[in-house]
Amino acid sequence: MTPTPRQRAERAGAGLPPLLLAAERVAAGVAPGVHGRRRVGSGETFWQYREYAAGDPASTIDWRRSARGDRLFVRQTEWEAAQCVWLWRDASPSMAWRSSETPPLKRERAEVLLLALASLLIRGGERVALFGTGARPSADRNTLPRLAALLDGSSGEAADLPPPRPVARHAQTVFVGDFLTNPEATLARMRTFAGQGVRGHLIQVLDPAEWELPYRGRVRFEGTEDEGAWLAPRAEGLRPAYRARIAEHTEALRAAARRVGWGFTRHRTDRPATAALLTVYHALSAARGRA
Amino acid sequence: MGGLALAAPWLLLALAALPALWWLLRVTPPAARRVRFPALRLLMGLQPREETAARTPWWLLALRLSIAALLIVGLADPVVNPPERLHGDGPLVLVIDTGWPAGATWGDTRAAARRWLDRAARSGKRVVVLPTARAAPDTPPGASRALDPAAARERVNALEPHPWPAELAAVREAVDALDFDGAATAVWLSDGVDAAGSRELAVALQRLGGLTVHRPAPTRRAKLLAPPDTGDPSFTVTLHRAGTGAPETVPVVARGADGRPVSTARARFAPDAATARATFDLPLALRNRVRRVAVRDAGTAGGITVLDPRWRRQRVGIAAARDAGRPLISAPYYLERAVRPFAQTRRAPLDELLDATPDVLILPDAGRLPADQRERLRAHIRDGGVAIRFAGPDLAAALAERENGQGKGLFPVPLRGGGRNMGGAMTWDDPARIAAFPDSGSLAGLTPPADVRVRKQVLARPGPAVSERTWARLGDGTPLVTGAREGDGWLVLVHTAADASWSDLPLSGTFVRILRRVSQLGAGTAERGGGTLPPHRLLDGFGELVPPYGAARALPTDADPPPLGPAHPPGLYGRGGGTHAHNLAPAVAAPEPLDDLPDGVTVAGLDGRDARHLGPWLIAAALALWLLDALAAMALRGALPRAGAAVLALGLVTLGAAPAPAQDTTAFAQKAAEATRLGYVETGVANVDRTARRGLAALSRTLARRTSVEPAEPMGVRLGRDPVVVFPMLYWPISRRQGALSEDAAAALRRFLDSGGTLVIDLREAAPGALGGDSPSARALRRLTRAVSIPPLVPVDSEHVLTKTFYLLQSFPGRTTGGRVWVEDTERTGSEVASVIIGANDWAGAWARDDSGEPLHAVTPGGSRQRELAYRVGVNLVMYALTGTYKADQVHVGAILERLEQ
């Protein structure tokens, strides 16, 4: 029996520690969670003792600590807060494709990555939601099954890029897709999100054939989204030019992401999903380190 | 014949269309493969670096053009060695020898016939086919109608050689009766063996038109194998060949009833000899098993001769005391001389002979037989034996005595008391001659000797049965030999004596012939005289024994064997055990070469080159190229998986690899088993193994010097990998560092112990009570033998066999002393010899010597005496392993000596 995407996603995420997102600027009023912010704030974990200063509420004085000396100490806790992460994956027909029997469909792999990420985030106490479905971010036990069900049900939309809907400020986004559209369009869309103060990460999922162009001989290429057809008299002759072009495309995407301060990860479907997950994990951790 | 011709040359015109094909192929590019590709946007507008091959590549073009060319040329059907046309306007008359010699070269004959039929087909002629041997009993060989070549081909394919002679006279009549216009082409595919009327046939054929005679090379012509002479003590067959000239050696194989070879002999033809003899040197038991003799790969019925029981050398027993008074003129002497040519004789008293149950029992002048002997003899005869009694003074006396008592003797006919004298001083009669042998008896066909006179005989009492039981008479009609069936056997009486006192018969050749004929009665020979024998196994035209076929009829036995033919093919006749061989050899004349041909006849060999049609090969080549083209087209479109080629290459590479370990094991077992060797278990600990090897080597030398055991170099055994069961004794030094035994190793040890091997375990640690205790070695032993069932053990006491198998020993010292020796408790386990001996004194350490013969290790407490004792322990151990408990008798030697003294 082939495992469902959700099973595979949880399996892919099982090896990683709970992913803790670093938040740069978090507004007050964010729902508290287990997310230590390494700064003083409202929370339950002890953070530090500070000498009493005028203006501190008397209730914050730690009498037990203060009794050991002459001065008064205030007990401070670490600020803990949960983050909202909005996830989105490309469900266009170009994603429902694979070059041969071996690698999975690009869309399948995208969903696996998405769910694995969601699974990790929930374990880290983050709240996740599927972008564009209107569901509220949540972090309870049922979130993951609900996400899986939503992914299964929402195959109809054919947008290459996430719709420009408003997102809560300071939320995180992770967009998974092939991003084979014009990099300029992708940059423009990212800008609309970044303008709302949203940080994000792009994961580009490509089939190995889209990377290598392994075809030989006389080949008539046909698009998956009614782009037309292109007859290559000798496909192997096109290979160097194509490779340069796809590398250029990817680099353009990476540059665009960097311009808005987002992360960018490239993933091939013939590589294990864990590898991509690890990369994203590192990217998000790096973001935390910068915090 | 030779060269190359085209059957349909006009088809080559199609080659003119090739340029058009070339043009067509050139402008049509291969079809494109359709691929869905999401990143099409990136692909669009890309220009390949090199110029596209919009046209078919030149090599593909060449491939396709050659396919077309091959097809066209193949359909035009080129023929190598095309058949020549026949001249003349008459038909082709094809005479094909199908007599017994034809089988030897039948394949060539058929090929030659095919070539002539090809020529007839090419010339559009009709063909008359004439086989020379008859296929059915009542139709002599005749000509077919004039057939078209295809029908003639079927006719020829249906022909086969027969195991009987050809009838050329009948064929000549058929040739004379042929009626057609114009000059025919006559061809005689001969077997190369002359037959009656061959010249006349050749003349008749020549008259039709030109005659070509094809005959095989002299060495390939059929040979005729004559069966051995039944009277010849040596087993010699005679081989006849058609023609002389070259020396030749022909292997001849004697086979048993099941067809297996019994022996092989060689017949060597001298250059000028047409016959050669091959003698089989066989013991009697094997010789009697021979049922047929055949020239190897003869292929004809003449090359095989089947044998029936007449050729069996029988065991003839002559009932007489071994030391007769006058050995050279006594009856047993005459009988032995007469019988020896065809049988093995044995002279013994009757009782002994009856125990040995010979095929034929001869009783020369036995008087009154004791009742029990008579009954045993009667039973012997009823079981199929043949008894030949001779008259004589004792018999006559017994008869005279019985005349009064009216007793009943064991005779084929009732006898009158007393004998009859002829030609004596007191008689009127002259000695009688032997009359012609009656046709009904077993002796029918023998020639009565003119010079034999019978002076004395015993007389049969006249009665109704006497006449029919009489096989030989004297001139006056009185019986000389009478015989009667008794159960399955025969009782025969010769009415005169077996020595020369009563008659001259024992001095004549007739005596031998009578004895031989009568002896054959007992050997399952089909009954002669009346009746017929159904075919049992027959020879076919290729000299194979096959079940009865065709129109084979039963063989009449009362007259001379009927001529060979479809009704009576050669082979074995008879039912059940009694078979009669009907062979070609005496019936047909020895083969002569077919040389006497009239002038003007073209003589050729049977070989020739067949017309070979190249068309099918060319078309097959075109098909193969077409497959190649399909592959190439796939490759051009990128559809050919590259993995396929890799798999192919991998398969070719892996073909070279071959497994080796099995061979290794066999070699080890062979080496270990070729001599008695001591073995030791390799522990994998280098110095322990070295000590064990050197110790056992030194012990082996000691054994060779002091005892009759001379072991070869000891061998190390890797348990579980090498076979151990070949070693009588296995020495196992226990080392703490040896790894645990694998499952295979434990199984090998179990097998070794179960199969009676002796395992000597040395703990190499002289701690008292080491075995049961908690010493490191004991722990190692327990760990190592966990999977081996060690039988219950007892310590060796002073009475144990181990203390006395070679040396008398009180203790078992090795490099150390004091360790106890434990052996399997044979009283509890019930085995004869203990299979496990466990010591602790590091025996191998004391035995081991280096290359210069110096001891490798010091012994403690020390002394050369201790080392000597260690060797004695080793000798005793090996002796125990090899001889078991036979020295246990020594236990009683004290008591025996004591008893002797008393």
Say if the Cβ atoms of A238 and B48 lie within 8 Å: yes
Say if the Cβ atoms of A238 and B38 lie within 8 Å: no
Could you tell me which chain B residue has the CA closest to the CA of A237? B48
- Per-residue pLDDT tens digits for B7-61: 777 878 888 888 888 777 766 666 677 888 888 878 777 766 554 445 667 788 8
A chain contacts of residue B641, beta-carbon cutoff 8 Å? none
Per the prediction, chain B carries an average pLDDT of 81
A chain contacts of residue B53, beta-carbon cutoff 8 Å? 233-234
The pLDDT score that the predictor gives to residue B769 is 57
The pLDDT score that the predictor gives to residue B871 is 92
The pLDDT score that the predictor gives to residue A251 is 92
Comparing C-alpha atoms, which of B588, B590, B570, B567 is closest to residue B579?
B570
CA distance readout (Å), B663 to B658, B660, B720, B781: 11, 6, 15, 32
CB-based burial label for B621 (10 Å; 0-12, 13-18, 19+):
middle
Closest in B35, B41, B53 to A219, CB measured = B35
Comparing C-alpha atoms, which of B304, B311, B312 is closest to residue B253?
B304
Distance CA A158, CA B38 (A): 14
CB-CB neighbours of A225 under 10 Å: 13
Query: Going by C-beta distance under 8 Å and a sequence separation of 6 or more, which residues neighbour residue A56?
Result: A74
Say if the Cβ atoms of A222 and B48 lie within 8 Å: no
The pLDDT score that the predictor gives to residue A25 is 31
Determine contact, residues A257/A183, Cβ cutoff 8 Å: no
Closest in A207, A219, A224 to B33, CB measured = A219
Distance CA B753, CA B759 (A): 7
Say if the Cβ atoms of A241 and B638 lie within 8 Å: no
Could you tell me which chain A residue has the CA closest to the CA of B49? A237
Distance CA B70, CA B99 (A): 46
Q: Is the pTM of this model over 0.90?
A: no
- Per-residue pLDDT tens digits for B189-248: 988 888 888 888 888 888 888 888 888 888 888 889 888 887 677 888 899 988 887 888
CB-based burial label for B511 (10 Å; 0-12, 13-18, 19+):
buried
Closest in B36, B42, B53 to A234, CB measured = B53
Q: Render each residue's pLDDT in chain A as its tens digit; 291 residues.
A: 556 766 776 666 655 444 434 323 322 233 344 455 566 666 666 778 888 888 888 888 889 888 998 888 988 876 665 677 888 888 888 888 888 887 888 888 888 888 888 877 777 777 788 887 777 777 777 787 788 777 777 655 567 788 877 777 667 888 888 888 888 888 888 888 888 878 888 899 999 888 888 887 778 888 887 777 877 777 778 888 888 889 999 999 999 998 888 888 888 888 877 777 777 777 765 554 443
Mean pLDDT of B537-542: 87
Residue B546 has pLDDT above 50, yes or no: yes
Q: Which three-class secondary structure state does DSSP give residue A122?
A: helix
Comparing C-alpha atoms, which of A136, A238, A260 is closest to residue A191?
A260
The total number of residues shown for chain B amounts to 902
Closest in B35, B44, B46 to A215, CB measured = B35
The pLDDT score that the predictor gives to residue B751 is 83
In three-state form (DSSP H/G/I as H, E/B as E, the rest C), the secondary structure along A52-73 is CCCCCCHHHECHHHHCCCCCCE
If you write DSSP's letter for every residue of B711-746 in order, what string do you get?
-EEEEEE-TTTS--TT-SEEEEE--TTSPPPPHHHH
Say if the Cβ atoms of B42 and A242 lie within 8 Å: yes
- Does B48 touch chain A if contact means CB atoms closer than 8 Å? yes
- Per-residue pLDDT tens digits for B172-190: 888 888 887 778 888 999 8
Q: What percentage of residues in chain B have a pLDDT greater than 90?
A: 4
Distance CA B305, CA B312 (A): 14
pLDDT band at B696 (very low <50, low <70, confident <90, very high): very high
- Does B645 touch chain A if contact means CB atoms closer than 8 Å? no
- Does B686 touch chain A if contact means CB atoms closer than 8 Å? no
Mean pLDDT of B766-785: 71
Query: Going by C-beta distance under 8 Å and a sequence separation of 6 or more, which residues neighbour residue A267?
Result: A109, A113, A203, A204, A205, A206, A273, A275, A276, A279
Question: Hey, which residues does A222 pair with through a beta bridge?
Answer: A229, B36
pLDDT band at B657 (very low <50, low <70, confident <90, very high): very low
Closest in B29, B43, B50 to A218, CB measured = B29
Q: Under the phi-then-psi rule, with left for phi > 0, alpha for psi from -120 to 50, and beta for the rest, what region is B296? A: beta
The pLDDT score that the predictor gives to residue B888 is 66
The pLDDT score that the predictor gives to residue A102 is 79
pLDDT band at B576 (very low <50, low <70, confident <90, very high): low
CA distance readout (Å), B702 to B697, B712, B847: 9, 12, 9
Comparing C-alpha atoms, which of B117, B496, B155, B542 is closest to residue B334?
B496
DSSP-derived secondary structure letter, B296: T
Interface of B with A in 54-83 (CB under 8 A): 54
CB-based burial label for B705 (10 Å; 0-12, 13-18, 19+):
exposed
Say if the Cβ atoms of B35 and A178 lie within 8 Å: no
Residue at B864: amino acid letter: S
Residue B577 has pLDDT above 50, yes or no: yes
Distance CA B289, CA B306 (A): 12
Closest in A97, A215, A242 to B38, CB measured = A97
CA A258, A259, A261, A267: dihedral to nearest 10 degrees? -30
The pLDDT score that the predictor gives to residue B699 is 92
CA distance readout (Å), B666 to B673, B744, B757: 10, 17, 20
Distance CA A226, CA A154 (A): 21
DSSP-derived secondary structure letter, B477: S
Residue B396 has pLDDT above 60, yes or no: yes
Interface test with B, best of A216, A225, A243, A250 (most B CBs within 10 A): A216
The total number of residues shown for chain A amounts to 291
A chain contacts of residue B635, beta-carbon cutoff 8 Å? 217
If you write DSSP's letter for every residue of B237-254 in order, what string do you get?
EEEE-S--SS-EEEEEEE
Could you tell me which chain B residue has the CA closest to the CA of A93? B38
The pLDDT score that the predictor gives to residue B658 is 40
pLDDT band at B637 (very low <50, low <70, confident <90, very high): low
Residue B412 has pLDDT above 70, yes or no: yes
The pLDDT score that the predictor gives to residue A210 is 87
The pLDDT score that the predictor gives to residue A28 is 29
